[in-house]
Each structure stands twice: as C-alpha cells, then as structure tokens.
Chain A
C-alpha cells in the first residue's frame, strides 16, 4: 500500500453522492462535512413522480436527482469537474486504472445490485449509486463506499459489472474527479445562494408533484387509497417508507442532514436565523419519522380496514411547516445585511 492510499481518510456518510463529494473536496484540501456538501449543492427536495415506476410504484424522492450534487457543488465552489462515460467497458476499466495509478481518487457511478459487499437484502437495481475508488491491489479495487463504516474491496470483474449495468439511470461507467479546488471561498455568498436555491425548489415550482405541492399531492394519494385493496395499500405505504428511510438519507428523508447543514452554516457565518431554522427543521424531521411509523402501523394492522385520513393529515401538517420555514429562509437569503 503506497503512502497515498494510507493518507486517504474514509468517512462514513448517510448518502452516497454527498459522501463522495465531501470526501473528494476534503481530500483536495477544502475540508467539507457531508451535510455542508449536501446543503451547499441545494440537495434537499421532494418529488412525487407517478410516471417513473419502481417495481410498479411511483418514484418518491426526498432529494434532487442523481448527479445534481456533483455538478452543482463543483460549479458553485469553482472547482473543475472532469467526468467521463464509456461506450466500451474495457476502455472504462483502463482509464480508471490509469487515474488510480497517477494517485488520483476516482468517483464512480454504479449499480447497487452487482456490488458483492452489499448485504443481499439491501441489493436492488438502482444504477445511480456513487462510490470512490482510491487504489488497486492485484485484481481488487480499494473502494471507499460512503455508506459503509469501513473501506471495502471489490474484485475487478464485479466492479466492472456494476459500473456497466444496463437499465434505468445506467451509469455507462461514469467516472469523475476534481481539479483546481479553490481553497478560499466566499461562504456568506455561497450559503445564501444555496439556501435560496432550496427554497425555490421546495416552494417555488409551478408543478403539482415537486416540493411542498408534491407532499400535498402524496397526502391526497394516501387519503384516496381504497381500503378494499389491503395488499396494494401495504406495499404502497411501505414503499414510501423505503424511499424515505432505507435508501441512505440520514433519517427523515434528508431533513436531519439538511438541518445539520443549516446549523453548521449558521455557525460558520454567524447567522442565528439559520440555527433557529435548523431546530425547526429537526422538529419537522421528527414528524416525518412519525409519519413513517404511522405508515408501517397501518400496513401491519390486520382485521378492520385502517383509516388513512390521519396519515394524510400528518403529511399536510408537514407540508405547512416546511412551507412556512422555506418562506422565512427565502426572506433571510435575500436580505442584505
């Protein structure tokens, strides 16, 4: 193991993309926590997309789509993002090896299903997982997978299969790395810009499926569930829970991670308003967790048909609180003082 590999620090993260970006930036000399990477890229969102189906269920996302964090964050920080996809898998492997042999870190997009180090029950066909390769040892790659506690190893044939898995969101071997990361940043400006971006995504889109309106839309769908379709209802409600909690979100569909960002950002630039917003978002996150528990309780209940109205009301309560919070954060981000 070379000295370079020894000084790369693996850090466990809640979410893959923010974790990879935090590691890449920290390694390039700009210390960055995962919540900061997530918040500065305006990663928080909500979307209910009935047209995109995941095993017959609508896509429910609590964050911006894949690659948003990578692109937005590099742009805002003024770092140069290099990225490559490959038509020929063999070339993809050679270029990864060449980058690693130069002592560089390589961000990779891959499928979750074909990574052998994932526990079987966590494996599903999601092609937009992100991980870092930081070295090679014989036929194995040294991998810093952000959602794992420790670095892992992956045989080259397995990594190859995962990088070039076909299907929705196919990675086509996507490989990315950062150059010229400026060490000096105007944090005040960055934070205001990022917070404003998030308020616009959550409460400024003229579409009924995105942001606060998306949450209200989901409430309506939950309310309309037909009590006679017990099996479908169970799968539908637990599907929401899986989207919110299972797929590395740091708890409550990224709300806790974003609250952590608000706190850290507030301390960094001395803005007490952000600290207060963080406390409120933590409470909203707790409501999201309660909502998830209620979904599971309703799925479990045997015998008489569950009443979905209180669950829908919880969502409307959350939507109202997030809207109020976004209004205040929007006003703060535009204030000049």
Chain B
C-alpha cells in the first residue's frame, strides 16, 4: 500500500477516530499513516452490528409479546451470544436457554440474576423488576 492509497473513507464505524496503518512513500520507504476509514472494512463491521441489532429487535418483540424473558434481548444488546454469556456467568448454556422462558425467569433467585446483571453491567434491581410480568 502506498501512502496515497491509504483509504480515507470517513467510516462512521471509526467513531471520528483514525487508525494507524503502515504504507510506503514514493521512495518505497515505510511511513506511519492515519486512515479515517476503509469502506470494505466498514461494510463488514456494519453487517455484523446490524445482525446483532436484528437479533436484539426480534428478541425484544418476543419479550413484549410475553413469549421470551428479557435475557435474550439483553444478551444481544450487550453483544453476547449463548456461549459467551455461559462463559461469563458460569452457567451451562442449557440453563441459560431455559431462563429465556418467561415462567422460569420469574422464579429465578436474586443470586442467579446477579450473575446476569454483572455480565450486562446492569444493576440487579433492574433484572428483578423485569420479573413482574410486563404490564
């Protein structure tokens, strides 16, 4: 990559920052250069984010309909999936999937909810509040 080929595509995924890349000048010497975005990379990031957001929206709708507990929606909101959530909380994946059922969720102890609260960085009171069926 030459210095004048360093992409400056103003990608929103960089959040206004620039990344450092290495590129060669006209004499073939390596220089440090800043890039404020590269379109193909931004497309890849946005696709992954959009996928998570779609999963979150779907889980949120199911929660509102009373078909799911809030955990699945929160899991996607905090960029997690079942294996990752299992590792962080120390719970088996099948238990987590069981906790996605509203009736099971409403009976969860504060101790279990505290593990989820820590994984999401939320106060446990919020998760306890969700145990009351949505009005």
Measuring CB to CB, which residues of chain A are less than 8 angstroms from any residue of chain B?
12-14, 35, 53, 55-56, 113-114, 118-125, 147-149, 161, 165-168, 234-235, 238-239, 241-242, 245-246, 248, 250-252, 256-257, 259-260, 263-264, 278-279, 282, 285-286, 289, 292-293, 295-296, 299-300
Contacts and interface: CB of A to CB of B under 8 A. Distances in A.
Interface string B82-98: 01100111100000000
A121 B45 contact: yes
Nearest to B13: A121
Nearest to A282: B24
Contacts of A118: 15
A219 B46 CA distance: 24
Q: Is the interface of A mostly helix, strand, loop or mixed?
A: helix
B15 A119 contact: yes
Contacts of B34: 12, 149
A282 to B, nearest CB: 6
Contacts of A13: 20
B23 interface: yes
Interface of B: 1, 12-24, 28-30, 32, 34-35, 38, 40-41, 43-49, 51-52, 78-81, 83-84, 87-90, 118-119, 121
B47 A235 contact: yes
Given A246-B41, A260-B22, A123 B28 contact: no
Nearest to A121: B13
Contacts of B15: 118-122
B45 A242 contact: yes
B80 A125 contact: yes
A166 to B, nearest CB: 5
Contacts of A295: 40, 44
Contact of A299 (B43, B81, B83): B43
A234 B118 CA distance: 33
A154 B69 CA distance: 34
